[in-house]
Amino acid sequence: MSHQRYPSHSDAVKEPHSVSLKVLRLSRPSLVTQYPVQPPSFLSAGGADIASRHPPPIPASLAYSPAVRTKLNSSDPEKERTTENTNPDAFILSPIVNLPPSFGSAYVGETFSCTLCVNHDVLLPGEGGPGPGQQKKTIRDVRIEAEMKTPATTTTTTTTTTGNTSTPSSGGGVTKLPLSPPSTTPGTEKGGGGVDLAPGETLQKIVNFDLKDEGNHVLAITVSYYEATDVSGRTRTFRKLYQFICKGSLIVRTKPGPLTTVGGRRRWVLEAQLENCSEDAMQLEKVVMDLEPGLVYSDCNWELRPKEGSGDGEMQKPVLHPGEVEQACFVIEEDGDGECGKGGDGVREQDGRIVFGVLGVGWRSEMGNRGFLSTGKLSTRFVKPRE
């Protein structure tokens, strides 16, 4: 199979590409689980007192070898004693991490990260190597372009605007993705951004994209390079598409209601239900309001809970398992002395409605993966202030 990629004579256009593209979605790395078991008594036959001691788990049952050896170059005998076992070897979680094993699920509000690897594939010596009749190829000026196609119709225009980016997303479109790290690799740079790849070498880039819409996304990667042999050369291009579905992870329901006026200032209560509709547990990091001018709010949620001391008694942010709902509540009131409509800093009213602003929800899921989304403008019908 691999031989087909390198036919002994160059066969015009149909010849397979000399470079390959491989991708891996870079979700957070995950802590590796381990299931410690005690060594069978056969193993500790020399120890005789097996029954009278609690032996450490058998190393093979741990996520990594607990043996810690200091660097040999240290001649300081004190150094020897600073070694410590870094593995909490009775616990199910260990500090060693695994790369993401699979694509997983993509959710609105998260940042999608993906690494792109363009490789100059060569036959390894074990695979027969380049045959004598095969021409040696040089790969020059490799360029990668990445685009994200987002769903054509945006059904959730009111709910998803990510707070931490500046690129506004218009419903349905193609976004060109910046590649990192920027092409400043020393030495190999040539001709405006292209990179030369020696045989077996890889050009690795990473793209990030804030997911804002539910539905089909397509990551389109275009790779172009100049392929030179001793006698000729040509520019070749190929394109690969990776499609995935982005799902909603959080359903936000809000309900505004009037409160009695205090000191001439109108007040409202805004209740919000946050439902985790993803498949993973999430911890709510912040639930905040971004209000229109002239309004202030007080938070009636966990942020209020006292932060006692700095130890383990810290406030616990709410954790939502799949399907669970957390209720949040805010009291919104007019700023200043409540003379609405006075000057330019009054409360904005539109078509008989008072516009509050937006509600922003930030969360973290496994291994700290972040998500953030904000609602559309929330408002309530204008109600005459009760005196």
Partner 1 sequence: MDQLPDSTSRGHTRTRSAVKATRPRSSTKGPLDADEIPLASPLSPQQAAPQGMFSVQHQQQQQQQQQQQQGGQSLRSPGPSSPHPRSAAQSPVPKRVLPPPPPKDFSYLLRPEIYHPLTPLNIPPSFRNSAKQPSPDTPIPDLLARGHFRAAAIAATQTLTAGGVDPTDYVRIFELLYTRLASLTLIDATALAAQEVKALEDLNSAFYVDETTGEHLVPWALRVLNVRLQAMGFGDPRRAVMSYYDLAREARAQLADATSRHDNSAKELWKDRLADIGIKVAGALVEMDDLTGAAHHLASLKDSEDGKMTMSKALLWLHLGDADAARRCVAHKSGEAAEKIVMALCDMADGEYEAALERWRELGEDLDDEMIGVNTAVCLLYVGRMQEGKDMLEGLVDTGRSSHTLLFNLTTMYELCTERARTLKVRLSEKVAALEETPDGWEKTNGDFKL
For partner 1, how many residues bind (rule: CB under 8 A)?
Answer: 89
Q: Are 346 and 294 in contact (CB under 8 A)?
A: yes
Q: Restricting to residues 102-141, name those near partner 1 by CB under 8 A.
A: 111, 115, 117, 119, 121, 123-124, 126-127
Q: Are 221 and 146 in contact (CB under 8 A)?
A: yes
Task: Note whether 61 binds partner 1 by CB under 8 A.
Answer: yes
Nearest approach, Cβ of 198 to partner 1 (angstroms)? 11
Q: Write the DSSP symbol of residue 45.
A: G
Task: Note whether 12 binds partner 1 by CB under 8 A.
Answer: no
Task: Note whether 26 binds partner 1 by CB under 8 A.
Answer: yes
Q: Between residues 55 and 264, which has the closer beta carbon with respect to partner 1?
A: 55
Ramachandran angles phi, psi of 41, nearest 5°: -65, -20
Nearest approach, Cβ of 235 to partner 1 (angstroms)? 21
Q: Between residues 73 and 232, which has the closer beta carbon with respect to partner 1?
A: 73
Binding partner 1 (rule: CB under 8 A), the pick from 80, 290, 314, 339 is 314
Binding partner 1 (rule: CB under 8 A), the pick from 329, 370, 377, 382 is 370
Radius of gyration of the chain (CA): 30
CA distance 21 to 224: 11
Residue 232, classified by CB atoms within 10 Å of its CB into exposed (0-12), middle (13-18) or buried (19+), is exposed
Task: Note whether 68 binds partner 1 by CB under 8 A.
Answer: yes
Task: Note whether 40 binds partner 1 by CB under 8 A.
Answer: yes
Nearest approach, Cβ of 34 to partner 1 (angstroms)? 9
Closest CA to 265 of 299, 301, 294: 294
Q: Restricting to residues 274-313, name those near partner 1 by CB under 8 A.
A: 281-283, 310-312
Residue 165: CB partners within 8 Å, gap ≥ 6? Answer: 210
Task: Note whether 202 binds partner 1 by CB under 8 A.
Answer: yes
Ramachandran angles phi, psi of 330, nearest 5°: -135, 145
Residue 31: CB partners within 8 Å, gap ≥ 6? Answer: 93, 94, 95, 96, 97, 367
Nearest approach, Cβ of 48 to partner 1 (angstroms)? 13
Binding partner 1 (rule: CB under 8 A), the pick from 8, 47, 80, 82 is 82
Q: Restricting to residues 215-244, name those near partner 1 by CB under 8 A.
A: none
Q: Are 250 and 274 in contact (CB under 8 A)?
A: yes
Task: Note whether 85 binds partner 1 by CB under 8 A.
Answer: yes
With CB under 8 A as the contact rule, which of the stretches 169-177, 196-204, 211-219, 286-294 interacts with partner 1? 196-204
